[in-house]
Amino acid sequence: MLADRRKILRSGYTTGACAAAAAKAAALKLMSSEFEVQGSGKVQTVEIPFPDGSRVKFKINNSELITHNSKLAAWASVIKDAGDDPDVTNGAEIVAEVTLKESNEPLTIKGGKGVGVMTKPGLSMPVGEAAINPVPRRMIKEAVMEAVKDSNELLSLEITISVPHGDILAKKTLNPRLGIVGGISILGTTGIVKPISTEAWTASISASMDVARAMGHDELVLSAGRVSEKAHMRKYNFPEEAYVMMGDYLEFSFLEAGKHGFRRIHLCAQWAKMLKIGMATPQTHVRHGAIDVKKAMEFLEGMGYISGTADHEFNTAREIFDLIRSTSGAQITPILSKVCSAARKYTGGIVPGIPIIAHLVSYEEDIIANSE
């Protein structure tokens, strides 16, 4: 019997957890009383509380005492370890600077270089604020308060979170579309990054819809991929915020669109995805099963398509598409439109009462058919 070679994927930590650890290390450095040292006087590790009540120890990459605007300050950094998740911020340095301030507020949290700023409504922080979400803010506050709890002084601290090269990393995320400019977001609801997480993808879908509604859009475009999205953009030029990348989370995305109250939904996909949707498949990723080409042909024949190649064996949906294109001539559009209409009917069952238009995108990246 062959050994099971499936790898157990390793979890990691969110940018929010890393920011909290760096902030605590900087606060400890500033207080210069309770940190672990190794000759150099640098903070080596810190332990911080997580939202579930657990505690996690982080290795500190670097820490220094500094003077900032004539005020005593300290900074520390953590290198983000996202585990086996393909996170664009994996390996990024998350930096926290803590400065003693003269203020009535015991603790303020700001965004520095490489942390984005909110410019559109609809997300968890108001316009103009740094893109440091509520849970990370709470984690930062709790971690820092642990560092200063034994101080006999009433301290006022300003904490600034920054991410070197965060502006470059942000270009690989949805931040620009969501109206978060200048850097990445400091995210996390649990402190833990689960590898290849459904939660992360569906959260981005919901956030995109939040922004679309806050911007006043009531018509939404759900696309299976970037190619399909770009094809619709070129032809219809909807506002950027109206486009949401659903990926393979079809059923979730339509249910979420219904909850957000969109009055019309456009569905964009290429042939293999659209065919799967027309055949009533709620999850279109291949990991949920490759398309059954025999059933696909039966489905198409049920809509009136006659291939004339009963003995032909297909391996992929693309082969079926190429056959339709080669044998249908001018009659190809009605066939493709029927597939779009089947997809519209299926998704309409998910969100009854909301009009849906399905757009089929060719392999040449153009819209070639719509639902009837």
| Among the four given CATH numbers 3.40.50.1820, 3.30.70.100, 3.30.2110.10, 3.30.530.20, the one describing domain 12-193 | 3.30.2110.10
Q: Is the dihedral of CA 184, 188, 191, 193 positive or negative?
A: negative
Distance from the Cα of residue 114 to its chain's centroid: 18
Cα distances (angstroms) measured from residue 122 to each of 109, 211, 214, 216: 21, 4, 5, 10
Q: What is the reported pLDDT for 312?
A: 65
Q: What is the reported pLDDT for 89?
A: 93
- Give backbone dihedrals phi and psi of 329, rounded to 5 degrees, phi first: 60, -130
Tokens of 322: 């190429």
Other CB atoms within 10 A of residue 209 CB: 24
Q: Which helix (H) or strand (E) holds 17?
A: helix 15-31
Q: What digits encode the pLDDT tens for the residues 150-193?
A: 665 667 899 999 999 999 999 999 899 999 999 999 998 899 88
Going by C-alpha positions, the residue among 184, 145, 151 that lies closest to residue 167 is 184
Q: What is the reported pLDDT for 289?
A: 46
d(CA 68, CA 100): 9
Q: What is the reported pLDDT for 87?
A: 84
> pLDDT 10s per residue in the chain (372 long)?
344 445 677 889 999 999 999 999 999 999 874 444 433 467 899 999 999 999 999 999 999 998 877 778 999 999 999 888 878 999 999 999 999 887 777 899 999 999 999 999 999 999 999 999 999 999 999 999 999 886 656 678 999 999 999 999 999 998 999 999 999 999 988 998 877 667 888 989 999 999 999 999 999 999 999 999 999 999 999 999 999 999 889 999 999 999 999 999 999 999 999 999 999 876 554 444 456 778 888 888 888 776 665 566 777 888 888 888 887 666 788 889 999 999 999 999 999 999 999 999 999 999 999 997
User: CA-based Rg of the chain, rounded to a whole angstrom?
Assistant: 26
Q: Is the dihedral of CA 141, 88, 197, 184 positive or negative?
A: positive
Q: Residue 215, SS3? A: coil
Q: How, if at all, do strands 55-59 and 264-270 pair?
A: unpaired
Q: What is the reported pLDDT for 153?
A: 66
d(CA 146, CA 143): 5
Going by C-alpha positions, the residue among 345, 319, 371, 359 that lies closest to residue 230 is 359
In the chain, list all ranges with CATH 3.30.2110.10: 12-193
Cβ–Cβ < 8 Å for 358, 343? yes
Which residues share a beta bridge with 161? Answer: 96, 111
Q: Is the dihedral of CA 253, 232, 209, 372 positive or negative?
A: negative
